[in-house]
Structure 1
């Protein structure tokens, strides 16, 4: 019986820790999002455009050749972006350049 109570107490503590960590991570993500928006506003105000990562011409060439998977993979290697972010970015690239 004591073992059951100990196990339940450990599960409750573990749940509390996970919940606390999730809240902290959400707060940090919200803060990062706010800082990113503010930086964007500052750059826009100063008329500064974010430089394009080197190698995007090769990504565009892969897209023009119909090799989307290879283009996404290369984009991820160049930028360190996650899969969903890389897919969205590659699909939105201007292929005329």
Structure 2
């Protein structure tokens, strides 16, 4: 009985694996397209001489840093920008200088 359960589990995993891989490939393609579009928008803004407006919450990050609340500043940065932990930490430390 245990052998049959094991075989059934393996078959299920073999059926699900390609679906997971396809989803991962789609996510990577979408991420690549998004990065290309962001670069193009940045180039268009630069060509038109338009500066991207600063998010008002960036001032909140500066206030938190002035109060010595680096971790909270990193959290707010992640909320505002959608960046990952390492990227947010680097950017907050850059703002501290």
Would you call these one fold, judging by a TM-score over 0.5? yes
Name the CA shift for 1:10/1:48 in 2 (closer, same or farther; >3 Å).
same
Question: Which deviates the most, 56-65 or 44-53?
Answer: 56-65
Q: For structure 2, which runs of at least 5 residues remain unmatched after alignment? A: none
Q: Is the 8 A contact 2:65 2:73 kept in 1?
A: yes
Name the Cα RMSD after superposition. Answer: 2.4
Q: Secondary structure at the match of 2:74?
A: helix
Query: Unaligned 5+ residue runs, structure 1?
Result: none
TM-score scaled by structure 1? 0.76
TM-score (ref. length: structure 2)? 0.76
- Quote the residue 2:28 is aligned against: 26
Aligned length: 94
- Point out the structure with the larger helix share: 2
- Which residue pairs with 1:17 in the alignment? 19
Larger RCO (CA within 8 A; separation ≥ 6): 1
Asked if the contact 2:74/2:89 (under 8 Å) is kept, the reply is yes
1:67 corresponds, among 69, 76, 80, to 69
Which ranges of 4 or more aligned residues in structure 1 deviate by more than 4 Å? 1-6
Alpha-carbon deviation of 1:17? 0.7
Alignment match of 1:90 (pick from 86, 89, 92): 92
Cα distance change of structure 1 residues 43 and 5 upon mapping to structure 2, 3 Å threshold: same
- What is aligned with 1:48? 50
